Structure 1
Amino acid sequence: ASNENCPCCMAHMGASNGTVLVARLQYPKEIRTRFRADVEAAAAGKYDSWLESPFNAVAGIILMDQFSRNIYRGTPQMYALDEKALGWCNTLVGSGAWQELTVSMLQFILLPYQHSEKLEVQQRGIALGEMLVKELQAAALGAAEDSPEAACVKQIQSVIRFAQEHERIIAKWGRFPHRNQVLGRESTDEEVEGLANGTIGKF
C-alpha cells in the first residue's frame, strides 16, 4: 500500500511550519463522509501493511486515533481502535522508524499515548515527548526565536503540556471520567462534580 491509496491523511499535511490541517479536524463532515470506509478497513487489518513505511503508518494512526473519534463520536466505537493505534506507535518507536518523520507527523505518534487510560502509557508518552524536545533543542541551538527549528521545539512542548494534563487525570481517577457515559460506566459522585465544575478535563 502507499499514500496514493490513502487520500485521507498525508495529502492534508501541510509543509509550512509543520501545519497539519487534518490535526484540527476542521472538516468533520468531510471526514465522516469520505473516510469511514478507510477507518473500517484499518480496523479490519486491511491496511496493516502500512506499518512497513513510517509515513504510511502515520496515515493509519490518524485514521484509527483521530478520524475514528470524529466518525463514531458519542459511541463506544470511537475508542475501539485506540489500542491498535498505540500498538502501531510502539512499533514505530521500537524500531526507530519514527526518527524518519517530520515534527508534524511526530505529533500523531504521541497522541495515542495521551488517549490511554493506563498511567504507565501516559508516562511513556511524556517521556518520548521530552526526549524529542531535547533532540530538537540541540538542533535549534543558535537558531533565532522565530526560526522553523525553534517553532518545532514549541510545537512538541505544547503536545507535552497537553499530555501532562491527561496524565494528571489518569493519576488521580484511573480513567477518563468524561468517557463514562459513552462507555456505560457508572460515575462516582466526585467524578460527576468534577465534570460539572470543570476541574476534570473532557479531552
Structure 2
Amino acid sequence: MSWKPFIKFWFKECGPDQWFFKKRKAFDRLLRKRFLSLYSEVVRGEHADWRKSPKGRLAEIIIVDQLSRNMFRGTSGMFAYDALGLALAQEALRAGADKGMSQWERVFMYLPFMHTESKKIQRESLRLFKSIGDKQNTWYARDHKKIVDRFGRYPHRNRILGRKSTPAEKKFMRTHKGY
C-alpha cells in the first residue's frame, strides 16, 4: 500500500477539529476501522520504504504518533510507540524531510518531540515549533515543556500508565486539563 491515500485522508478529509479540538468517539472508531491494520503494519516496520519520500515519512509519523492517540484513547496504547514516533521524526529531520512542507505538515512532523517526556527533547520541540512561526502551536509546545520541566513527565498519563502521582502532580491535575 502507498502512503498517498493516508496523507490525502489526513490533510484533505480531516482538519483541526478532528485532529485536536474535539475528542469524538465517531472519529476514533472511523480511524480504527480504516487504519488499524495499517497502523499495525507501520509499527512492525513493514512500510519503511515510505521513507524514500518526505511525505511517506510524514505518513509513518502521523500513523504512529497521532492515530494511536485516537484509536487507543484512554489506554496505555496511546503512548506505546511514542519512542518509535520520535525516532522516525528525528530521522526525518536529519534527512531534511520537513523542508518545503506546509505549516500543518510540519506541525505533525514535530508533534512526537512535544509528546516526549524528555526535558532535552522538549527544548528541541519548542525550537521546532517556534520555527514554524505559529503562535498557537508555539504556546502548546511551551506549555508541554513547562510540564515536563516541572515534573519530568506528563502527570495526566500517570493513571493510564499505572504510575503513582505525587502530591504536587495531584494538585497540578486539579487545575490543568492535560493533553
TM-score with structure 2 setting the length: 0.88
Partner of residue 11 from structure 2, selected from 10, 13, 21: 13
* C-alpha contact (below 8 Å) 1:110/1:129 kept by paired residues: yes
* C-alpha contact (below 8 Å) 1:74/1:182 kept by paired residues: yes
Give the drift of 1:80: 1.2
* C-alpha contact (below 8 Å) 2:106/2:132 kept by paired residues: no
Partner of residue 162 from structure 1, selected from 117, 128, 140: 140
In the alignment, residue 150 of structure 2 is paired with which amino acid?
A: K
CA distance in 1, matches of 2:130, 2:78: 28
SS at match of 1:99: coil
CA distance 1:21–1:202, change in 2 (3 Å) = closer
What per-residue deviation string (whole Å, max 9, x for no partner) do you get for residues 159-197 of structure 1? 1110110000001011001111111111112211221x2
In the alignment, residue 193 of structure 1 is paired with which amino acid?
A: K
SS at match of 1:36: helix
Give the drift of 1:122: 0.8
SS at match of 1:100: coil
CA distance in 2, matches of 1:70, 1:95: 28
Question: Partner of 1:75 in structure 2?
Answer: 75
Matched, 1:23 2:1: no
Name the % identity.
28
CA distance 1:20–1:181, change in 2 (3 Å) = closer
How many equivalent pairs are there?
175
CA distance in 1, matches of 2:48, 2:19: 22
Give the drift of 1:104: 1.8
Give the drift of 1:201: 4.2
In the alignment, residue 46 of structure 2 is paired with which amino acid?
A: K
Runs of 5+ in structure 2 lacking a partner? none
CA distance in 1, matches of 2:18, 2:168: 35
Question: Partner of 2:178 in structure 1?
Answer: 202
Give the drift of 1:83: 1.1
RMSD: 2.1
* C-alpha contact (below 8 Å) 2:57/2:97 kept by paired residues: no
In the alignment, residue 157 of structure 1 is paired with which amino acid?
A: K
Question: Partner of 2:157 in structure 1?
Answer: 179
Give the drift of 1:48: 1.5
In the alignment, residue 66 of structure 1 is paired with which amino acid?
A: Q
Matched, 1:53 2:53: yes
Matched, 1:2 2:2: yes
Matched, 1:94 2:94: yes
Question: Partner of 2:166 in structure 1?
Answer: 188
Give the drift of 1:8: 3.2
CA distance in 1, matches of 2:117, 2:75: 17
In the alignment, residue 47 of structure 2 is paired with which amino acid?
A: Y
CA distance in 1, matches of 2:18, 2:47: 19
CA distance in 1, matches of 2:17, 2:12: 7
Larger Rg belongs to: 1
Give the drift of 1:21: 6.6
CA distance 1:92–1:109, change in 2 (3 Å) = same
